[in-house]
């Protein structure tokens, strides 16, 4: 069984180094070693460049991608005139390894796509999003051509769709699907006229990100990214649809085996009290991550409360997970069915781990199963709470 864990979790190539360091450290240092290892998983960067003409809604889209409104603290500056004169980086509020770049506007009479990409340092970005609030122009096509030539991915986004829908609603024969179809066709035909082959245009409202084509856009970006960056994208997406929440849950499930294996490595080391302390540290770290990823931490709930007009207390009253009131030993115990199980298991783990070879495998297996079970239960509960909060947040208060 132990060998199969390693085969299924190839990224854990430093596991033996960690076990060796634990064996030579005191308890607090050993726990810190585990925490540091887990933190390295958060260092994979994702850089998204947002570009387009002045006034096209670049900055608002930068904010929307990060789950912020234009007036929130830390948001990108917006305005009717160009407010970005050099590349400005904005970190995701929960994941600092996700960077969304507000790039200077294009479309000036002297615009040169190649020079522009040199100015903004194209090599920094994983993907580009090219935004227009009306028809796409020659400058957009030039930029797309240069981006392709440099081996990068880009996506055309027609922004401010909510304004177009509002204007069309005044017509007696208004039909939203037909209106969206007409806007998309007009944009794609315009791009073909300026020599863009097989264009795909995503219709987006930064104010109503859950509507229109945002899901299609994120799915396309996800598909185009290398495997190691896909989960980074998923975890950074704002919690605006149940589909996104489900994808986040699946992404976190893939990490449970890694975390549990680290626990197993600690259980196999014969140091009294080590496994229960390390398990608690590991589980706490992961559950804190779940709350942030699903937008259920206090800071995220405060932002949601501000947007929806509902109180934080209201949203917390919807949560049924025993962890929503705080992560501590008391709230962790129900994940196993009782505190005595965790304490008793730690004692057995220590005794068994003293048996050479076979003992290490048995102790590691017990810890692996324990931590896996606890994290799966925690993730299920938190994901379910996230669904309840999402559903409630889009309901109109009576």
Q: In the prediction, which pLDDT does 221 show?
A: 93
Query: Rounded distance, CA 129 to CA 155, Å?
Result: 5
pLDDT score of 307: 78
pLDDT at 119: 87
pLDDT of residue 333: 58
Structure tokens at 113: 């796509």
Shared domain for 361 and 247, answered yes or no, is yes
Q: Within this chain, do residues 192 and 259 fall inside the same structural domain, yes or no?
A: no
The pLDDT value recorded for residue 168 is: 87
Domain end position, chosen among 207, 236, 265? 236
> Number of structural domains, the chain?
2
Indicate the helix (H) or strand (E) that contains 102.
strand 98-102
How confident is the prediction along the chain (398 residues), in pLDDT tens digits per residue?
333 333 333 333 444 555 565 566 555 565 566 666 666 667 788 999 999 888 888 888 998 888 887 777 777 777 655 555 788 999 888 888 889 999 988 887 778 888 889 888 889 999 999 999 888 998 999 899 999 988 999 999 999 999 989 988 888 888 889 999 999 999 999 999 988 888 899 999 988 888 899 989 988 998 999 877 888 888 888 888 888 888 888 888 877 766 776 676 666 555 555 466 656 777 788 888 888 888 888 888 888 888 778 888 888 888 887 676 666 655 665 665 543 444 445 555 554 454 444 445 445 556 677 777 788 888 888 899 988 988 887 765 43
| Residue 184, pLDDT score | 92
Give me the pLDDT at residue 153, please. Answer: 92
> Does residue 70 lie within any of the structural domains?
yes
Query: Hey, is 266 helix, strand or coil?
Result: helix
62 CB-contact burial (10 Å; exposed 0-12 / middle 13-18 / buried 19+): buried
pLDDT value, residue 357: 41
Residue 279 in any domain: the answer is: yes
Pair (252, 361) in one structural domain? yes
Note the pLDDT of residue 53: 87
Whether residue 262 contacts residue 37, with contact meaning beta carbons closer than 8 Å, is answered with yes
Are residue 246 and residue 387 in the same domain, yes or no?
yes
* Residue 156 sits in the same domain as residue 271: no
For residue 398, is it within any domain?
no
User: Are residue 229 and residue 268 in the same domain, yes or no?
Assistant: no
Domain span at 184: 44-236
HSE-CB at 360 with a 13 A cutoff on CA atoms is 12
């Amino acid at each position: 069984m132990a060998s199969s864990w390693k085969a299924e979790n190839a990224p854990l190539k430093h596991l033996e180094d960690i076990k060796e360091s634990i064996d030579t450290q005191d308890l607090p240092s050993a726990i810190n070693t585990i925490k540091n290892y887990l933190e390295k998983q958060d260092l994979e960067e994702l850089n998204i460049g947002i570009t387009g003409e002045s006034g096209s809604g670049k900055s608002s889209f930068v904010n929307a991608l990060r789950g912020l409104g234009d007036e929130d603290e830390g948001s990108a500056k917006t305005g009717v005139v160009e407010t970005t004169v050099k590349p400005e980086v904005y970190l995701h509020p929960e994941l600092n390894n996700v960077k969304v770049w507000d790039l200077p506007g294009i479309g000036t009479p002297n615009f040169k796509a190649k020079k522009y990409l040199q100015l903004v340092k194209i090599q920094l970005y994983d993907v580009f999003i090219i935004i227009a609030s009306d028809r796409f122009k020659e400058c957009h096509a030039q930029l797309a051509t240069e981006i392709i030539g440099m081996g990068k991915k880009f996506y055309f986004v027609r922004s401010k769709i909510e304004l177009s829908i509002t204007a069309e609603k005044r017509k007696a024969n208004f039909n939203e699907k037909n209106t969206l179809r007409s806007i998309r066709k007009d944009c794609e035909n315009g791009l073909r006229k300026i020599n863009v082959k097989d264009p795909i245009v995503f219709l987006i409202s930064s104010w109503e990100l859950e509507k229109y084509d945002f899901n299609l856009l994120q799915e396309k970006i996800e598909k185009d990214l290398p495997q190691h960056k896909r989960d980074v994208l998923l975890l950074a997406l704002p919690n605006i649809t149940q589909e996104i929440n489900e994808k986040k849950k699946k992404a976190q499930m893939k990490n449970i085996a890694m975390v549990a294996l680290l626990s197993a490595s600690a259980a196999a080391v014969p140091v009294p009290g080590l496994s229960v302390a390390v398990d608690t540290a590991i589980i706490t770290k992961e559950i804190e991550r779940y709350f942030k990823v699903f937008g259920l931490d206090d800071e995220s709930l405060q932002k949601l409360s501000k947007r929806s007009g509902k109180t934080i207390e209201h949203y917390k009253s919807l949560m049924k997970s025993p962890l929503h009131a705080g992560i501590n030993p008391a709230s962790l115990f129900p994940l196993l069915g009782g505190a005595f199980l965790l304490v008793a298991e730690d004692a057995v783990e220590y005794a068994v781990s003293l048996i050479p070879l076979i003992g290490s495998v048995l102790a590691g297996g017990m810890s692996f199963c324990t931590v896996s079970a606890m994290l799966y239960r925690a993730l299920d509960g938190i994901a379910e709470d996230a669904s309840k909060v999402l559903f409630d947040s889009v309901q109109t208060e009576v």
